Chain A
Amino acid sequence: MSEATGRVVDGSETYKLEVEDLEKHFPVNSGIVSRILRGESDQAVRAVDGVSLGIREGEAFGLAGESGCGKTTLGKSAIRLLEPTGGKIYFDGTEITNASGAEINRFRREAQIIHQDPYQSLNPRFTVYEWIKEPLDVHGIGTAEERDARVYETIEQAGLKPAEAYAPEYPSELSGGERQRVGIARALALEPSFLLADEPASMLDVSIRASILDLFKRLQTDLGLTAVYISHDLSLLKHMCDRIGIMYLGELVEVAPADEIINDPKHPYTQALVSSVPRIDPDEDRERIELVGEVPDPVDMPSGCRFHPRCPRIVQPEGYDFDQDDWRAVVNLRRDVLAGDVDPEAIRRNRDDDEASALAIRDAYDVPDRLADAAADDVLDAALSDVLAGDSNDAADVLRREFATPCESGPIETHQVTPTQEAACVLYDEDEPYTLE
């Protein structure tokens, strides 16, 4: 499709679907026992945490990220299948955040969803005909004959031919690919202008995946639909979409045209994600970026940039000059010291040493015996001596103060990196001299 144009910065562009600071938190510990034992808790899984995004009229937008990053929750909240806990939603310029009654009904006619699991998303007690006709009944569209004709028309549109043969079938008699087409036909019955496809091909056989995706592409062009595809598969999204947004732990970290996301990702998380996509082009020598560390607990989010516990490009503290890999290692060590999790005795036992030592601790965290920057090394040495002496608090104070990184504090702004590409990362803050290259 066409090369996507830059976002109109003054905000005058109208979007098909726009969300502003959208938030969906799921409460945890809401069971009666824990409520009594621990009191009302305000802990929540922050599945979607302040996402702002505009989907343009007629575009195919891809939403990517690891599983559990909140992409499906974002999609479903944006079309009000889940009730957002914060933020605003606009559809065709009209706010629908709290719409109800006739207003939400009108929206339901316009926005449809294709579910991930074709085996679970069709009601086993409905025939294909009944299932596709239901939306027409619910919205009272046309006369009985018109509805009937529309059902057969959409069945064919979804690629099930002859429609008469499929109409009386129950889902249990259909294959996965056929069921997914039935789901698509139902979504199309109301002639919507917006389609959310939640991993539409991931549960299907590889052999039929391509044909389903082609169907989507064709329908989108033929019907002029605006579509959002949710997938963890970047190469699939590149094939399907004009623009792609990358999510990490409930936040949108980068949005850019599909080509740029794949060929020139800006956000360190996107870079890691893209580097793990198998390449067809053998000339391309791209280093695979291994992400270390665990995905943090969504209840207890890291401060600042949520990616900082794993980010290979995490910004160095002012006044020091590390080798970047060493710095990453030091950050890991620092994090554990701050959390009071470094136990020299355990490290000694693990390594079977005679005596706990600073070198052993460094080694356990892959920190070199001497850092290139002498001043930094002195700070680390002092901190490690404190740890060995049992003064974890002193060590934590020193490290917290000296090795502070802008990545771990404050809200991380989203920066317009190129006219078409935006990323939420301090590396692109023009007022600050963080840029490494």
Chain B
Amino acid sequence: MSTDTDTTPQGAVTGLEKRIEQLRDGLGVFKGDRLGQIGIALVLVFVFVGVFARPITIEFLNVTIPGLAPHDPNARAVGGRLEPPSLAHPLGTTQLGRDVLSQLIAGTRVTLLVGSLAAFMAVFIGTNVGLISAYYGGWVDDVLMRITDIVYAVPFLPFAIVLVAIVGSSIVNIIGAIVLILWRSTARVIRSQVLSHKQRPYVESAEAIGASDVRIMYKHILPNVLPLAFLYAAFAVGYAVIAEASLSFLGFGDPNMLSWGEMIFTVYTADAIRQAWWWVFPPGIAITLFVMSVFFIGRTLEKVINPELRHQE
């Protein structure tokens, strides 16, 4: 930290190296934090499974990386109907004879896609709304925050069901519905952070050299509130996955996209929930594990932003 003795470094270090050093410092919070480490490990596994779920063909090298799924998840009758787990089908089969393990692996990709895209867009919108609202204040703030309040009053599921019923249940529409609701919490939190940063003398330092509003907002204040945005992004991934699963389970999922929620929906409509435990549990456990691991990561990130939490252990 800032002592008078160790402030003269040997030779120049480039800005980039400094950044990497900072990043490493930031990741240091995961050290000694078991849950955070578990979270990261699990998410890495999910990402790996999601990416390599189906065969990937690289055209110009003329190679095909084989997919992790042992069967085509949509192929019927690769086994018998509602077979319990066996060596050929480690997680059994569905009532149409599809391989459950293959479905689970394929569903990972959809889940990751929905989770990360929805979370990214929601946090992107929320951060900008919060930043602009707090920085300009006045009527801009009034208008944006009233809109945020209105969105806060909208319950997610009924809103998403109506929206999807009107515009059709494609994956894009589902992501859209999630984003339209999810940005609100980021907007509020970022706004309050920006309000406090706006008062700090470094912002006045920027004004004093004649920096424009856009510059002050995006070059000065944004980097200081970005860690908080990352935290909200982690949580948003979790919420988005839950939201997608809920919609799919209720039958409003994209019929062409096999997700974990969709799997449970199919079990339910096949009236096999009581009987085919091997079909229900895997997607349920996958959803739970994935959401838990992103929350673990979020919880650890929170300590970077709020260092007092580090001492509360």
Contacts and interface: CB of A to CB of B under 8 A. Distances in A.
Contacts of A130: 15
B9 interface: yes
B223 A125 contact: yes
Interface stretch (B58-66, B143-151, B200-208, B237-245): B200-208
Contact of A190 (B17, B207, B209): B209
A312 B208 CA distance: 41
Contacts of A66: none
A134 B215 CA distance: 10
A170 interface: yes
Interface string A170-197: 1011111110000100110010000000
Contact of B13 (A112, A122, A168): A168
Contact of B215 (A108, A117, A138): A138
Nearest to B22: A170
A113 B2 contact: no
A175 B205 contact: no
Contact of A123 (B4, B13, B212, B220): B220
A37 interface: no
A123 B202 contact: yes
B20 interface: no
Given A164-B12, A165-B12, A172-B1, A122 B202 contact: yes
Interface in A151-170: 164-165, 167-170
Contacts of A81: 204, 207-208
A120 B12 contact: no
B245 to A, nearest CB: 37
A411 interface: no
B96 to A, nearest CB: 55
B205 A121 contact: yes
A135 interface: yes
Contacts of B202: 120-124
Range class of the B interface residue count: 20 to 34
A165 B2 contact: no
A16 interface: no
A202 interface: no
Given A124-B224, A175-B7, A108 B2 contact: no
Contacts of B22: 170
A305 to B, nearest CB: 33
A109 B1 contact: no
B18 interface: yes
Contacts of B209: 108, 112, 134-135, 138-139, 186, 190
Given A105-B210, A170-B18, A172-B1, A165 B8 contact: yes
A180 to B, nearest CB: 12
A184 to B, nearest CB: 12
Interface string A105-133: 10011001101110011111101011000
Given A138-B209, A175-B2, A127 B201 contact: no
A367 to B, nearest CB: 47
Nearest to A105: B210
B211 interface: yes
B303 to A, nearest CB: 18
A105 B13 CA distance: 34
Contacts of A167: 12
Contacts of B215: 138
B15 A127 contact: yes
A104 interface: yes
A175 B12 contact: no
A135 B212 CA distance: 11
A115 B204 contact: yes
Given A120-B200, A170-B18, A165 B9 contact: yes
B15 to A, nearest CB: 6
Contacts of A173: 1-2, 7
Most buried by A among B14, B201, B205: B205
B204 A121 contact: yes
Nearest to B6: A173
Nearest to A111: B208
Given A121-B202, A121-B205, A129-B15, A134 B8 contact: no
A117 B13 contact: no
B3 interface: yes
Contacts of A120: 200-202
A128 to B, nearest CB: 10
B14 A168 contact: yes
Contacts of B211: 134, 138
Most buried by B among A109, A123, A125, A130: A123
Contacts of A165: 8-9, 11-12
Contacts of A170: 18, 22
Contacts of A178: 7
Contacts of A129: 15
Contacts of B204: 76, 81, 113, 115, 121
Interface string A186-217: 11001000000000000000000000000000
Contacts of A109: 210
Contacts of B7: 169, 173-175, 178
Interface string B79-121: 0000000000000000000000000000000000000000000
A127 B18 contact: yes
Contacts of A105: 210
B115 to A, nearest CB: 28
Contacts of A121: 201-202, 204-205
B199 to A, nearest CB: 10
A115 B14 contact: no
9 contacts: A81-B207, A108-B209, A115-B201, A123-B202, A123-B220, A134-B209, A173-B2, A175-B7, A177-B4
Interface of B: 1-4, 7-9, 11-15, 17-18, 22, 200-202, 204-212, 215, 220, 223-224
Interface of A: 76, 79, 81, 104-105, 108-109, 112-113, 115-117, 120-125, 127, 129-130, 134-135, 138-139, 164-165, 167-170, 172-178, 183, 186-187, 190
User: What are the 6 A-B residue pairs with the smallest beta carbon separation, nearest first?
Assistant: A108-B210, A121-B201, A135-B209, A125-B223, A123-B202, A120-B201
Given A168-B14, A183-B205, A186-B209, 16 more contacts: A104-B210, A116-B201, A122-B205, A123-B206, A127-B18, A129-B15, A135-B209, A138-B209, A164-B11, A164-B12, A167-B12, A168-B12, A168-B18, A170-B18, A174-B2, A187-B208
